[in-house]
C-alpha cells in the first residue's frame, strides 16, 4: 500500500515521538532542577493518585512506570488497560463515571463482533478506545517498541508526565483456577472481568516476567528520582506485576530516593476493585499492615531511637519535619533531593538504617481507619486516604511527600 | 491468550464454515437439479443486480465470483469492499442510501484515528463495518484463506448465494498517476476515493494478478454453470480485475454455459461511479458498444444467417425464442441448460459459431438509449437497464436469462 498523503502517522510516513518528544521529558528546557517524582502505577487507583501528584507538584518532573501485566490481545488488537487508564485519566479523556475507558464511549464494534459470534463478551471494548488499540497494534507490528508506541499515543493526550511501560517485553498475568473442566490458567482479564474474580485464584502467574527486561528509562527513573511513590494500586497484579520484572525490585532497593507507599486497603477492604481476591491468592491478609509488610522495609528495622552507628548511605535532609524518611542506600549515586545531604539520619524512628532486606518501602501511608498499623522497619503514618476529590488526593500526595521529606 | 469460553469464533475455538456450510452450497440437499447461475461481480452495481438474480430465480444455485482487486489494508485491517458490498447487500445490512457500508453506520473509530493524526481521511471506515474487518483480519492472520473467511462471515449474513473471492492470493489494483511530485502508483482506493478519479489514470495495474490462482471453486463454478452473468459492474477495475486472474478468462471461454453481460454504460455514461475514468485509462470509449467489444465475442462472428457449417460445440436450445444464444464450445462437457441439446444452432444471428477469440461474451444487454449498438460476434439486445427498483432489476435479469436461453 502506498503512503497516503497528509496524515501524520500512516504508511511510510509514520512519525513516532521519541521519549524526548514528550512535553515532560527530561530534555525539556527549563525543567532543570525540578523535583523528580517516579511512581509505579496500575489502573484506576494509580491514575487518580497521579492526578493528585500532578496537581500538588505542577512543576515536577513526573515519570510513571506503568503495569503491563494486564495487557491482552483481543481481536488481534494489543490492549494495554493500565497504560491507557493512566493516559486517558491524565489526558482528560477518561470516563469519570466508570474510571476506565473513554468518556462518551460507544460499543458499536463490540456489538457487531458479538453478532458474528466472536467473543469474548466480558471485555468492554469501546469504539473510541479501539482506535487507540488499532494505532498501537499497527505500530507494534511495524516494529516499534511499546515505549515508543506509548510516547506516540501520549503526544495526543499530553498527560503532563512521562508514561513508561514497565517493560517492552510481553508479560501477562495469568490466574490458575479450578473449574468444572478442571484446573486451568486463564488470562487475568478473563478472571477479573469474566469471572469477576469470584472463582478463587489458586495461583497468580506473571507469564514471561522472568525473561522481561525493564523498558528503557525505567531503571534510570528509579535511580535518579527524588522520591518514589507507590500509589494505592493493586499490590499483587499491578505493583506486584511491575516488581516481577527482573531488576525493578533491586532498583527500588538501591535508589537513593525515599520510597513511599499509599495503602490501597482501608479498614480491611480494598478501596476499589477486588484486591482481596488477589491478596488471598498470595496468602496476604487484606489489611493495610499486611500489605505494607508484604512490600517490606527497604532496611532492617532500625536499631533503636537515636542508637547505633550511622548508615553509609546518603540521607535526604527532609525540611518538612520529623516524618521525613532517609532513602538510605549504599548504592546511591548522589542526592537529587530538595534538601542537601544532611549530617544526620532522619530515617525511620530516627534510628540507624540497617542492611537491605529485599523490601521496597521506607514509608507507608495508611488510612485513619488503620491507625496503629505497624510495619517493621517502615515509618507508618495514618491519615484519610479516600480520594473523594482532587483536593483530597492532593492532601494524600502531600502527606506522602512529607513522609519522604520532599 | 487462553481460549475464551462460549463464543463461536474466538481463540482456539474458532470455528469456520467450510464452503459446504453455506446455505447455497452445492452440497445442500434438495438443490439437485436447480439452475446454476454463476456471476462475476464488483460492488454496488453487481450487488443490486444480484438482488434481482436471487429474486428472479429463488430456487437457483447462485455462485458469485467477487472482485478482490479493490481490497486494501488500512490500520492493519484487511478490507474487501466489493465482497462486503455483495454480502451486506444480499444479507440486508447495506446502507441503502449510500450503496456501500452498513445501514445506521457510525464513524467513531475513524474520528478517533483522525484525532491521533492517523489517516487516510479518504476512506470511510464505519464502526459496524470495522467489526467485519477485524474478524477477517484475525482469521487471515490465523491462516485461514479468504475463501474460508468469506464463508464464515456469510454465515451471519446468509446472502442466499455462494460468495467466492476471485482468488485467495493478494491482488491489488494500483493506478499510475502524474502528480506534482512526479509519476507515482497509488492504490485504487486512494485514486478512487482520495482523488475521486479526477487525476487521469496513466495506467491501471493489477498488482500480483500474474501470480494469483483462482480461488477454490471458481473454475468449477464457471465450468458447471448453466449460465454465466456479467452484471453491470465496472468493466476495468471490477470485471477486468477478475479476468486478470490467470485461468479465469480461459474458463469463461471454455464453459458450455452461455455468457451474458449487462452494460454498465447507458447513453455514453456510467450509470454510477466513475467507470469512464477507468475506461479512458485503457483506451476504451465510454459506450455500451465499446465495452461490449472490449469484453469481446467468445466466438468469431457467425458466417451469416443460416449459412456455413454447424459448429462442433453443443448448443443450448433456448425455449424463450430467437434471442437465445448458443454457449458453443468445443470443450463443453455437457449441457446443463433448461433446454436439451438442440439440433440446430440458435447462436448469434442464427449463424455458425466460429473459433475461440479470447472474448468472453455470447450476449450483451444494452439500454434502449443504446439501441442499435453492435458488438461483432455477440447478440446485442436493448431494453431499459436502470435498476430503479427490484422489479426493474428482475426484468433485466429475466432478459439476460432469456438471452441465454435459460
Contact A272, A84 (CB under 8 A): no
Residue A33's pLDDT band (cuts 50, 70, 90): confident
Instruction: Give the domains, in start order, of chain A with CATH numbers.
Output: 30-69+209-406 (3.40.50.10680), 71-165 (1.10.8.240), 172-207 (no CATH)
- Is B8 close to A118, i.e. CB distance below 8 A? yes
Task: Kindly report the pTM of this predicted structure.
Answer: 0.81
Peptide bond into A120 cis (omega under 30): yes
Q: What is the pLDDT of residue A353?
A: 42
Using a CB-CB cut-off of 8 Å, the residues of chain A touching B115 are 131, 156
The DSSP result for A313-346, as a single string, is S--B--SS-TT------TT-----SSS-B-SS--
Q: Is B3 helix (H, G, I), strand (E, B) or coil?
A: coil
Write the pLDDT tens digit of every residue in B314-340: 333 333 333 334 333 333 333 333 333
CA distance B300 to B313: 13
Residue B117 neighbours by CB under 8 Å, 6+ apart? A7, A8, A9, A156
Residues composing chain A: 406
- Is B73 close to A109, i.e. CB distance below 8 A? no
The stretch A291-296 carries a mean pLDDT of 97
The stretch A186-210 carries a mean pLDDT of 93
Q: Residue A113's closest chain B neighbor by CA?
A: B131
Bridge partners, residue A141, by sequence: none
Q: Residue A93's closest chain B neighbor by CA?
A: B112
Contact A188, A244 (CB under 8 A): no
The stretch B280-291 carries a mean pLDDT of 96
Using a CB-CB cut-off of 8 Å, the residues of chain A touching B88 are none
> In this structure, what C-alpha cell is assigned to residue B110?
475513524
A136 vs chain B: nearest CA distance in angstroms?
10
- Is A4 close to B128, i.e. CB distance below 8 A? no
Start-to-end C-alpha separation, chain B: 53
Write the pLDDT tens digit of every residue in B131-167: 999 999 999 999 999 999 999 999 999 999 999 999 9
For B131, the closest of A109, A128, A194 (CB atoms) is A109
The DSSP result for B9-68, as a single string, is SSGGG-----GGGSTT-TTSTT-TT--EEEEEE-SHHHHHHHHHHHHH-TT-EEEEEE--
Residues composing chain B: 406
Contact A212, A389 (CB under 8 A): no
Q: Which of A24-33, A81-90, B54-63, B284-293 has the lowest mean pLDDT?
A: A24-33
The stretch B294-298 carries a mean pLDDT of 96
ipTM of the complex: 0.80
A2 vs chain B: nearest CA distance in angstroms?
6
Q: Does the structure show a pLDDT above 50 at B199?
A: yes
CA distance B7 to B129: 20
Closest Cα partner for B397 from B297, B273, B261, B290?
Answer: B261
Residue A394's pLDDT band (cuts 50, 70, 90): very high
Using a CB-CB cut-off of 8 Å, the residues of chain B touching A109 are 109, 127-128, 130-131, 134
Using a CB-CB cut-off of 8 Å, the residues of chain A touching B186 are 2
Element (H, E) at A150: helix A146-157
Q: What is the pLDDT of residue A362?
A: 97
The stretch B294-306 carries a mean pLDDT of 69
Q: Residue A173's closest chain B neighbor by CA?
A: B1
Bridge partners, residue A186, by sequence: A175
Q: What is the pLDDT of residue B310?
A: 34
- Is B76 close to A120, i.e. CB distance below 8 A? no
B10 vs chain A: nearest CA distance in angstroms?
6
Q: What is the pLDDT of residue A271?
A: 86
Average pLDDT, chain B: 83
For B10, the closest of A118, A128, A156 (CB atoms) is A118
Q: What is the pLDDT of residue B33?
A: 80
Q: What is the pLDDT of residue A301?
A: 57
For B72, the closest of A1, A135, A187 (CB atoms) is A1
Write the pLDDT tens digit of every residue in A222-271: 999 999 999 999 999 999 999 999 999 999 999 999 999 999 999 999 98
Residue B346's pLDDT band (cuts 50, 70, 90): very low
For A187, the closest of B1, B137, B156 (CB atoms) is B1
CA distance A134 to A95: 20
CA distance B209 to A2: 18
> In this structure, what C-alpha cell is assigned to residue A237?
497484579
For A127, the closest of B6, B109, B119 (CB atoms) is B109
CA distance B214 to B247: 7
For B76, the closest of A5, A122, A134 (CB atoms) is A134
Q: What is the pLDDT of residue B274?
A: 87
Helix-helix angle A108-115:A127-141, to 10 degrees: 80
B135 vs chain A: nearest CA distance in angstroms?
7
Give the residue, B41 or B301, on which the prediction is more confident.
B41
For B113, the closest of A117, A134, A187 (CB atoms) is A134
B3 vs chain A: nearest CA distance in angstroms?
8
Write the pLDDT tens digit of every residue in B64-112: 999 999 999 999 999 999 999 999 999 999 999 898 999 999 999 999 9
CA distance A95 to B67: 42
CA distance B305 to B310: 12
Q: What is the pLDDT of residue B289?
A: 98
- Is A141 close to B76, i.e. CB distance below 8 A? yes
Which DSSP state fits A367? Answer: -
Using a CB-CB cut-off of 8 Å, the residues of chain B touching A190 are 2, 4
Q: Does the structure show a pLDDT above 80 at A292?
A: yes
Residue that has been written with the C-alpha cell 464511549 in this structure:
A105
Among B17, B118, B140, B187, most A C-beta atoms within 10 A, so best to mutate, is: B118
How big is the A-B interface in CB pairs under 8 Å?
154
Q: Is B113 helix (H, G, I), strand (E, B) or coil?
A: helix
Residue B169's pLDDT band (cuts 50, 70, 90): very high
Which range in A193-207, A222-236, A354-368 is most confidently predicted, on average pLDDT? A222-236
CA distance A324 to A313: 16
A274 vs chain B: nearest CA distance in angstroms?
21
Q: What is the pLDDT of residue B354?
A: 46
CA distance B404 to B365: 11
Q: Does the structure show a pLDDT above 80 at B306?
A: no
Contact B166, B66 (CB under 8 A): yes
Q: What is the pLDDT of residue B5?
A: 34
Using a CB-CB cut-off of 8 Å, the residues of chain B touching A74 are 1
Q: What is the pLDDT of residue A78?
A: 97
Using a CB-CB cut-off of 8 Å, the residues of chain B touching A132 are 112, 116
The stretch A152-177 carries a mean pLDDT of 97
Closest Cα partner for B277 from B230, B232, B237, B231?
Answer: B237
Using a CB-CB cut-off of 8 Å, the residues of chain A touching B113 are 131, 134-135
B101 vs chain A: nearest CA distance in angstroms?
13
Using a CB-CB cut-off of 8 Å, the residues of chain A touching B17 are none
Closest Cα partner for B103 from B112, B91, B111, B95?
Answer: B95
CA distance B18 to B22: 7
Write the pLDDT tens digit of every residue in A56-87: 999 999 999 999 999 999 999 999 999 999 99
Contact B36, B57 (CB under 8 A): no
Backbone angles phi, psi at B138, to 5 degrees: -65, -40
CA distance A317 to A405: 7
Note the Cα A259 to chain centre separation in Å: 13
> In this structure, what C-alpha cell is assigned to residue B22?
453455506
Q: What is the pLDDT of residue B73?
A: 95
The stretch B255-263 carries a mean pLDDT of 97
Amino acid at each position: 500500500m502506498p503512503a497516503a498523503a497528509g496524515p501524520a502517522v500512516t504508511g511510510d510516513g509514520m512519525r513516532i515521538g521519541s521519549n524526548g518528544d514528550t512535553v515532560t521529558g527530561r530534555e525539556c528546557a527549563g525543567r532543570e532542577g525540578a523535583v523528580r517524582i517516579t511512581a509505579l502505577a496500575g489502573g484506576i487507583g494509580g491514575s487518580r493518585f497521579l492526578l493528585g501528584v500532578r496537581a500538588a507538584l505542577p512543576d515536577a518532573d513526573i515519570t510513571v512506570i506503568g503495569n503491563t501485566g494486564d495487557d491482552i490481545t483481543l481481536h488481534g488488537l494489543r490492549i494495554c488497560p493500565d497504560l491507557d487508564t493512566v493516559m486517558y485519566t491524565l489526558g482528560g479523556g477518561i470516563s469519570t463515571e466508570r474510571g476506565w475507558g473513554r468518556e462518551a464511549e460507544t460499543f458499536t464494534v463490540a456489538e457487531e463482533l458479538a453478532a458474528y459470534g466472536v467473543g469474548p463478551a466480558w471485555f468492554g471494548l469501546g469504539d473510541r478506545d479501539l482506535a487507540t488499540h488499532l494505532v498501537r497494534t499497527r505500530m507494534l507490528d511495524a516494529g516499534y517498541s511499546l515505549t515508543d508506541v506509548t510516547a506516540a499515543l501520549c503526544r495526543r493526550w499530553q498527560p503532563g508526565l512521562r508514561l513508561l511501560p514497565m517493560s517492552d517485553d510481553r508479560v501477562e498475568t495469568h490466574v490458575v483456577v479450578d473449574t468444572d473442566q478442571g484446573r486451568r490458567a486463564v488470562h487475568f482479564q478473563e478472571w477479573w472481568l469474566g469471572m469477576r474474580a469470584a472463582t478463587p485464584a489458586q495461583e497468580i502467574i506473571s507469564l514471561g516476567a522472568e525473561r522481561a527486561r525493564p523498558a528503557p528509562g525505567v531503571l534510570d527513573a528509579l535511580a535518579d528520582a527524588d522520591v518514589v511513590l507507590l500509589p494505592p494500586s493493586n499490590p499483587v497484579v499491578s505493583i506486584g506485576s511491575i516488581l516481577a520484572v527482573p531488576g525493578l525490585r533491586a532498583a527500588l532497593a538501591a535508589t537513593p530516593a525515599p520510597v513511599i507507599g499509599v495503602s490501597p486497603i482501608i479498614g480491611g477492604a480494598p478501596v476499589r476493585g477486588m484486591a482481596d481476591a488477589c491478596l488471598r491468592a498470595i496468602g496476604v491478609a487484606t489489611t493495610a499492615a499486611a500489605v505494607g509488610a508484604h512490600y517490606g522495609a527497604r532496611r532492617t528495622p532500625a536499631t533503636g531511637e537515636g542508637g547505633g552507628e550511622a548508615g553509609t548511605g546518603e540521607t535526604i535532609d527532609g525540611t518538612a519535619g520529623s516524618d521525613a524518611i532517609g532513602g538510605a542506600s549504599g548504592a546511591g549515586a548522589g542526592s537529587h533531593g530538595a534538601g542537601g545531604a544532611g549530617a544526620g539520619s532522619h530515617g525511620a524512628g530516627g534510628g540507624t538504617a540497617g542492611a537491605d532486606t529485599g523490601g521496597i518501602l521506607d514509608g507507608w501511608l495508611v488510612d485513619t481507619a488503620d491507625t496503629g498499623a505497624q510495619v517493621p522497619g517502615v515509618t507508618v503514618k495514618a491519615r484519610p486516604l479516600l480520594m473523594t476529590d482532587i483536593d483530597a488526593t492532593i492532601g494524600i500526595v502531600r502527606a506522602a511527600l512529607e513522609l519522604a521529606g520532599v
